[in-house]
Structure 1
Amino acid sequence: GIDILLEASNRDAAHDSSARDYDPRCHPGTREQHIEDLVYWAVPAAGTDDPLPLFWMNGPAGVGKSAIAQTCAERLKELGKLGASFFFSRNGRDKAAEFIPTIIYQLGTKFPDYRELVNHRIPRDKAIFDKTMAVQFKALIVELFQELEGIGKGIGKRIAIIVDGLDECENADAQCKIIELVAAAALGGITPFCWAFFSRPEAHIKASSTHTDIARVTCTTLLPVSNDSDSDIELYLRDGFVNILRRRNIPIKSQWPSDSDIRMLVNASNGLFIYAATALRDVDQAGSLEEVLCAVCATTSSLTDNPPFAGLDAFYMVIMQRIPPKALPMVLLLCTLLCSGSSYVGGHQRGVMLWRNLLGLSEIELRVVCNHLSAVLHIHCHSDSLDLAQFGGTNRPFQHASTAAVEALRNHIGSKLGGSIYFYHKSFYDFPIDPMRSGTFCVWSSPMLNAYYRHFLEALVKYEGSCSFRGSEPDSAHGPPNLASSSSRPYTNELVNSVLKALVSDRAFDACFGLGCLPEIERQLLQRFGRANFRIFRQGEAMLYAGYSGVLNTRCWNCDGHSKVTQRARLFRILRDQFQTWFDVVQFKATIKRWKECGIIQSYYPNLASWFKSLVLKKSQDKLISKLYRVGHGPKSIFWCFEINFKEEYYQEFRAADLAEGEQIY
């Protein structure tokens, strides 16, 4: 049971995970009042009434919420009052499906009696983690802790659970569901926990937290952008500069930086710890305080009303402006990939080896590109190396490996092979995608989107050239394609290389298919995509994911949804809340029209009856639209069928190489 639980959880989300070594924590002597308030809330003084069971600290990006959450988790662990923690992040820790299993796993490591119950309960329903969060929460948390209480093995009360970055959970519906589940348990007094949430004050989270019933059990506190933090920021900066000198074995002199330099940085921070942290990293990497101070002086003098985030954005602009013109296109491509990873390139996969091949760079070339963003971007080297024995130890392509080995290797390559790469702070994820903030460096500009699309088309061409068909499956026995220089291939082992190659092509195909719905993409690029070998990509996808028993959280048509991949077809369904909020029928129809004109798709009528049926459905399009197309041309094509149901409010589709098999699984 524990093995199933561990597989469903995210070990990197815990406060003490090695993956979070570089994540923020409060500098000694700073934020003491906020830390004290939360610790007192979790561990009230003896003889006093228990505070409310829910705590919500909200505030804008960059004010230090995650640092406070991290420090409070560490303090509560020292006091023996921390049950579990989950730090949501765009850096691979945003899956709602991993939240409950991760909390359960951590609680199991702390409470042996509970662990024993979990270990016996899960084997009774091995698919428990494919069910809703509500089912998991009730069966494995509420019921099991009530059982412990009933046999006299209760764990006491007010065991704290810290949840940071709730707004970075993958979708708004999941964020609200987590609040509702926890609040319902708190209202009923059916679990021994108190929960502390940290997030931006997003409208839907605020609406849930201030709902009459939930508000009755929630202590809410605001962490604003305020100059009240100036003294803490000054202390943080002074100690940070001392550490820079120590790491370089330079004698510490009181005149560096000067008091006026420190004051300039504090004023420019405008209450945002993230500004000070970015400035310190910039000095540490570039080694030039004067250059940073000149940039700060130039940006602050150009700001008239000086709104809170204007200074931070101006500093980010300076970082981008320093990049040499020859290096800028690849840096922007990297930013595009990082910022759009969840949308079009198969989720938040951050494995360096995968990214080297996606970008077509050697290890040295990738690090040179990343160095231009060293103040905002980090490459984390993982301590655990790749043990080929756990994947069967074979040196043959992955078509000959077990589905379990392929799945494990796919996850390892996607998340950590060669290290992982991410931005330090969410504010820089937001910066390049907003043209009002990043200007000419916006990665969603028409030139960048087309450069991005063109790059992945090239990757598809290289993949096609390395595959030939053997029966109904692509044969890649000749090894990985030359997607990058030879040094980009991490191992001589053919199993690793073949999975890496298939992952690169899968991500490239998803990018081309997903971005193809944007009107900015040039017609000639779409026409070129229409000539691709879609059958190869469909079969490669099937071999990568058909052994996966769960549901993949994916994105299509600007909406989050669920995919299920089988040997026969790939199914995709848009979640109802996403359909209601984001699905744009007008844009969808415009995309279909454009794809027809560019030769990507052609209407397909296998017989007269289906043609007549399409006319009937067209007349009742206020309730249902259903269409069948061939994607691509001749033997390279696949079938694509979609259905839009306005009454039930959903969109679903399938892609299949064989129509009969696709319809059967559909």
Structure 2
Amino acid sequence: MPSNFTNVVHRTQRLRRDVLEILLEQSIKGVELDSSSRHPPPRCHPGTCTALRQTIITRLYISQRDWTVMWLYGTTDVGKSAVAQTVAEECREKDVLGAALFFSKHIRSNDAHRIIPTVAYQLANRYSDYRALVEREIGEDPRLFGGDIRTQFKKLIAVPLSSLKARGSLTFREPKLVILDGLDECEPHTEAQELIEMICQHARLVENSPLLWVICSRPTSQITSAFSKFQPTAICRAQELVFDPKEDLLPFLDRGFREIRLQHWEVFGSDSNQKWPTPSELRIIAHNCSGQFVFGSALLKYVADAHNPNPIHRLASFLEVMRNCDLSQCRTNPLFFLDLLYKHILDNLPNDYLPTIRRILGVCIYHPYAALSPRALANFLHLDQPTFETSISKLFSVLAPPDSLYSSKERLHFYHTSFGNFLRDPSRSAHHHISERTVYEDLAIHSLQWSNWSVKRACARSRDELVDEICCIVEDPLAALTWKLEDEVHSYECMEAVEHFASQVCWEACFRVAEGDGTPVYQELLRIKHCPRDHLVRFLKRYCATDRPQGNADRLTVKQTLNALWLASFTLIVFYALLRVRIYQEP
């Protein structure tokens, strides 16, 4: 008997693990509430959005609800994700959070077809009785995930929840909250639209649904169309996210400036009650926030920057900019004053550091979740410590200063994604715009340089006589690092992180710039002694096929180089393959 009981326990644990593994495999990675790829997540400032947050949470505890699906909509950077994050964390503490998914344009796998499996995985991971029912559905139809999303919704959401409700499950005695933030970022948009319709239809058919849904997005045409079919009804509530300047923004700004006065006591003296800014200036700032916290928050960060110790002068300079600006643009651009602040910050950067600053910002914008510490990023870009530290210190009003530049766990990130969005959009940032092509060309060049170094270092580690004839001996394995530590172990760890990142982005970056003037990348390719033939030839073929206004001179040179590479490729590939085999076979 004990043996049979043990077998049953092991089998039960294995089945539980299997269904979770299956769901996890079909889920979208990096969209979880506490995902490291979103660290640090946006949150509501203390004392803000309390009424809206209370409206959502109290609906989980009353039997007669006036809505089952809330659509929280608003413009870009208005604060939807902050509300969603804060509500999700509060519900998790109360054990009423079913699932929370946070999508963004930076996550490459925003596949609308995987939303339902992702929700199901989070529900199954939290609630064992739901997990058992989902396990049965998957067992009866293993091809479920290849079907359409209506079938997925029925078998992974509707049927299990209906069964639990019929049983009187204590788990869902109180409904659970499901949050889908940034649904407008999911593709294809038609499936996201279809998902909204299914959620609303299910809410209409099921009285006192076990799930409450909060969907946050911009009011795009597809999403607006989907919700319009269910409004106005008791099923769905549309809620625009706006902030009242008097009730929300003025207290937030007043508290923020009070903290600045305390931090800069040497400027303001001992009078912590000093009226700065003046009440009229505070009202102007609150009014120009246009109902958005992001401008007020960014302005406070700019004024409080510890590397610029005169907050009075900084605020006065920007108030002067606001007084002299063209206010006619406010009508068409709700982020006008935020853009004005970002331009003001960038306009005041020292010209000597601008090229370096733009290169650092480029990586932060287009690879925000790159696994590079500040020191590793500096080494990847071949920047020494003084240059890198001085450059990022100019950005601490928009870039969160790391706790330690030496820690391998630290990452550079913006205080708010709006700054990256601003630099991406040339219509907003004008001459401060950082183009994707410029960044990827820089990434390609530095990745190729690091790839070349990696091959040389690998050759130097081999004792093969053939290597000694062909390759130079690398006397200092850390010579490529522009910023070293006295601790050799950490220096090697840093270099390995840089080499790994270079290997990840190298060929993607090369292919992105191959269409157009890829001359700088092409010139860097010619310096590589050993190169995977298929990658190099693919790049050069695209480069040769691109029309150029300069004539055929460049193209002829490239084609001649291509022919020479074809002749030499067999020797290089065989040599490189033998070298790798020899290296990895060494004890």
Closer/same/farther in 2, CA of residues 6 and 589 from structure 1, 3 Å limit: closer
CA distance in 2, matches of 1:526, 1:72: 50
Q: Which of these residues, 268, 282, 295, is aligned with residue 262 of structure 1? A: 282
Contact 2:451 2:499 in 1 (8 A): no
Closer/same/farther in 2, CA of residues 283 and 183 from structure 1, 3 Å limit: same
CA distance in 1, matches of 2:384, 2:132: 48
**Aligned pairs, how many?**
528
Contact 1:534 1:632 in 2 (8 A): no
Q: Is 1:420 the counterpart of 2:435 in the alignment?
A: no
Contact 1:379 1:419 in 2 (8 A): no
Instruction: After superposition, give the CA deviation of every residue in 1:266-287 in whole Å (9 maximum; x if it has no partner).
Output: 2332322111000111122244
CA distance in 2, matches of 1:332, 1:141: 47
Q: Which of these residues, 495, 500, 503, is aligned with residue 502 of structure 1? A: 500
Classify the secondary structure of the residue corresponding to 1:271.
coil
Instruction: After superposition, give the CA deviation of every residue in 1:182-225 in whole Å (9 maximum; x if it has no partner).
Output: 4464455497212111122233333343357999953222235x
CA distance in 2, matches of 1:151, 1:601: 72
Which residue number corresponds to residue 9 of structure 2? none
CA distance in 2, matches of 1:524, 1:11: 35
Question: Of Structure 1 and Structure 2, which has the larger fraction of its residues in strand?
Answer: 1
Closer/same/farther in 2, CA of residues 118 and 202 from structure 1, 3 Å limit: same
Closer/same/farther in 2, CA of residues 229 and 142 from structure 1, 3 Å limit: same
CA distance in 2, matches of 1:314, 1:181: 42
5 Å matches for 1:168-247?
A: 168-169=185-186, 172=189, 175-176=192-193, 178-179=195-196, 182-183=199-200, 185-186=202-203, 189=206, 192-210=210-228, 217-224=235-242, 228-246=244-262
- What is the one-letter code of the residue matched to 2:182? G
Is 492-501 or 283-292 further displaced after alignment?
492-501
Which residue number corresponds to residue 297 of structure 2? 277
CA distance in 2, matches of 1:479, 1:257: 56
CA distance in 2, matches of 1:246, 1:219: 43
Classify the secondary structure of the residue corresponding to 2:44.
coil
Q: Which of these residues, 330, 336, 345, is aligned with residue 319 of structure 1? A: 345
- What is the one-letter code of the residue matched to 1:374? F
Which residue number corresponds to residue 360 of structure 1? 382
CA distance in 2, matches of 1:129, 1:484: 49
Q: Is 1:293 the counterpart of 2:333 in the alignment?
A: no
- What is the one-letter code of the residue matched to 1:370? I
Which residue number corresponds to residue 377 of structure 1? 399
Q: Which of these residues, 65, 79, 100, is aligned with residue 64 of structure 1? A: 79
User: How far did 1:171 drift?
Assistant: 6.4
User: How far did 1:530 drift?
Assistant: 6.3
TM-score w.r.t. the length of structure 1 is 0.64
Contact 1:331 1:369 in 2 (8 A): yes
TM-score w.r.t. the length of structure 2 is 0.71
CA distance in 1, matches of 2:569, 2:393: 41
5 Å matches for 1:48-127?
A: 48=64, 50-77=65-92, 80-90=95-105, 95-96=110-111, 99-100=115-116, 103-108=119-124, 110-115=126-131
CA distance in 1, matches of 2:415, 2:110: 19
CA distance in 2, matches of 1:538, 1:479: 28
Q: Is 1:436 the counterpart of 2:427 in the alignment?
A: yes
Closer/same/farther in 2, CA of residues 528 and 510 from structure 1, 3 Å limit: same
CA distance in 1, matches of 2:187, 2:370: 10
CA distance in 1, matches of 2:340, 2:116: 39
Classify the secondary structure of the residue corresponding to 1:443.
coil
User: How far did 1:138 drift?
Assistant: 5.1
CA distance in 1, matches of 2:215, 2:274: 40
Is 211-220 or 452-461 further displaced after alignment?
211-220
Closer/same/farther in 2, CA of residues 486 and 600 from structure 1, 3 Å limit: farther
Q: What is the RMSD of the two structures over their aligned residues, measured on CA atoms?
A: 5.2
Closer/same/farther in 2, CA of residues 324 and 156 from structure 1, 3 Å limit: same
Instruction: After superposition, give the CA deviation of every residue in 1:496-517 in whole Å (9 maximum; x if it has no partner).
Output: 8546413313313321221222
- What is the one-letter code of the residue matched to 1:425? H
Of all paired residues, the percent bearing the same amino acid is 24
Q: Is 1:329 the counterpart of 2:355 in the alignment?
A: yes
Contact 1:109 1:115 in 2 (8 A): yes
Contact 1:56 1:219 in 2 (8 A): yes
Contact 1:599 1:632 in 2 (8 A): no
CA distance in 1, matches of 2:361, 2:388: 12
Structure 1: tracts of 5 or more residues without a match: 386-415, 542-569, 571-587, 604-628, 639-656, 658-666
CA distance in 1, matches of 2:44, 2:98: 21
Which residue number corresponds to residue 181 of structure 2? 164
Which residue number corresponds to residue 545 of structure 2? 592
Instruction: After superposition, give the CA deviation of every residue in 1:369-402 in whole Å (9 maximum; x if it has no partner).
Output: 33322222236679xx9xxxxxxxxxxxxxxxxx
Is 527-536 or 486-495 further displaced after alignment?
486-495
CA distance in 1, matches of 2:110, 2:230: 28
Instruction: After superposition, give the CA deviation of every residue in 1:615-665 in whole Å (9 maximum; x if it has no partner).
Output: xxxxxxxxxxxxxx9996444489xxxxxxxxxxxxxxxxxx9xxxxxxxx
CA distance in 2, matches of 1:251, 1:101: 58
Classify the secondary structure of the residue corresponding to 1:423.
coil
CA distance in 1, matches of 2:54, 2:414: 30
Task: Indicate the structure (1 or 2) with the bigger Cα radius of gyration.
Answer: 2
5 Å matches for 1:443-458?
A: 443-444=434-435, 454-458=445-449
User: How far did 1:107 drift?
Assistant: 2.7
User: How far did 1:57 drift?
Assistant: 1.3
CA distance in 1, matches of 2:161, 2:380: 46
User: How far did 1:56 drift?
Assistant: 0.9
CA distance in 1, matches of 2:504, 2:126: 40
User: How far did 1:479 drift?
Assistant: 6.4
